[in-house]
Amino acid sequence: MAGAPQLTLPAFAPRWPWIGGDLQTVRNWLVKPKPPLDAWPVERLDFDMADGTGDLLHGVLQRPAEDRSRPLVLLVHGLTGSSESSYMRASTWHLLRAGYPVLRLNLRGAGPASGRTRQFYHAGRSADLDRALQTLAPALTQHGIVLVGYSLGANVVLKYLAEQGTNAPVMAGASISAPIDLHAAQRRIASLRNRVYHRSLLGAMKRGHNTEVDRGVRTIFDFDNRVVALNNGFKDALDYYRQSSSGPMLGTIRRPTLIIHAADDPWIPISAYRAVPWSANPYLSPHLAPSGGHVGFHGRGLAMPWHDLALQTFLKQVR
């Protein structure tokens, strides 16, 4: 395919009472949906990072009852998430019903590996994703692979696609609510209006890390500066943001890539997306909705989240 398909999607309209970016964002936390996945047998996959740490990435593979020769869809969770996050389960349920095999990948130190790895995932750790892709069994990838990332995982996916360019071993990618400018996202989440979000995320980040976190770490910036940067060879948090943000790299993506974001995302400013020269790269298919929050997109009259509807529409055209 010479570029991304042109998609016709219904305009997003929020479902009552989840009006506005904040309610769209917290809806899953409040409702706690758990789509039933028991109808599809589970296969557990382990991916050895082969970097001397002994660290493993754990994946959850499920296949549709009937083999329809469709590509494997590999899902990558966001910050403090895992394969069991509600948005991961929801996408899996809809994709399996549509006939796609789905692999929910836990990033390093997430899911079953929480507290058991020497190193930990971050927004720029695309090498781990590459290692997992390279070690997938050929029988599982014979019909192609599509990468789908959410939030931090979406930045990892976009960064990986940009780094690989024409060598990417996948047929397409999709991004939902990616922090394509990590410094801008950090500043937004640290703002006064987001203090509840900030406290919750920072607490989860500290709990998920298997090393003693300095008590002086009181903000996400502190965490990125003293934990992420220190343990991953970055000079400081700003260097981590600069090297890991996918936004400046989007021009080198050479696989059809769906990009979903909401203007009222309370964590990630839409300005980062409006600064991207989308028309300069025909492989990018941006859909910037006026509402939807952060990995929310709970739409009126829809049987699935709007981003899942967009994803399925996209998949039908990149087969």
The token duo for 49 is 């990072």
Return the pLDDT at 210: 60
> Percent of the chain beyond pLDDT 70?
98
Give dist(CA 108, CA 86) in Å, integer.
19
What is the radius of gyration, based on Cα positions, of the chain?
Answer: 18
pLDDT at 215: 72
Provide the mean pLDDT of the chain. 95
Detail the DSSP E strand segments found in the chain. 42-48, 56-62, 72-76, 102-105, 145-150, 172-176, 257-262, 284-289
Does residue 13 sit in helix, strand or coil?
coil
- Taking CA 234 as the corner, what is the angle to CA 233 and CA 236, rounded to the nearest 5 degrees? 140
To the nearest 5 percent, what fractions of the chain are helix, strand and coil? 40, 15, 45
pLDDT digits (tens, 9 = 90+) for 288-303: 999 999 999 999 999 9
Q: Residue 179: enclosing H or E segment and its boundaries?
A: none
User: Which segment of 121-125, 167-171, 205-209, 266-270 scores lowest on mean pLDDT?
Assistant: 205-209
Tokens of 28: 């899953």
Could you tell me which residues come within 8 angstroms of residue 163 by beta carbon, excluding any fewer than 6 positions away? 126, 249, 252
Task: Find residue 56's DSSP bridge partners.
Answer: 48
φ, ψ (nearest 5 deg) of residue 214: -50, 130
Closest CA to 178 of 252, 256, 270, 89: 270
pLDDT tens per residue across span 187-231: 999 999 999 999 999 999 998 886 667 678 999 999 999 999 999
How far is Cα 12 from Cα 214, in angstroms, rounded to an integer? Answer: 43
User: What structural domains does the chain harbor?
Assistant: 21-180+248-318 (3.40.50.1820), 182-244 (no CATH)
Confidence of residue 6 (pLDDT cuts 50, 70, 90): confident
Q: What is the pLDDT of residues 54-88, one digit of tens each?
A: 999 999 999 999 888 999 999 999 999 999 999 99
Q: What is the mean pLDDT of residues 234-252?
A: 98
151 vs 268: CA distance, rounded Å: 9
pLDDT of res. 212: 67
More confident: 108 or 114: 108
Alpha carbon 3 to its chain centroid, in Å, reads 22
Are 76 and 154 in contact, with CB atoms under 8 Å apart?
A: yes
Predicted local confidence at residue 224, as pLDDT:
97
How confident is the model over 5-17, as a mean pLDDT?
92
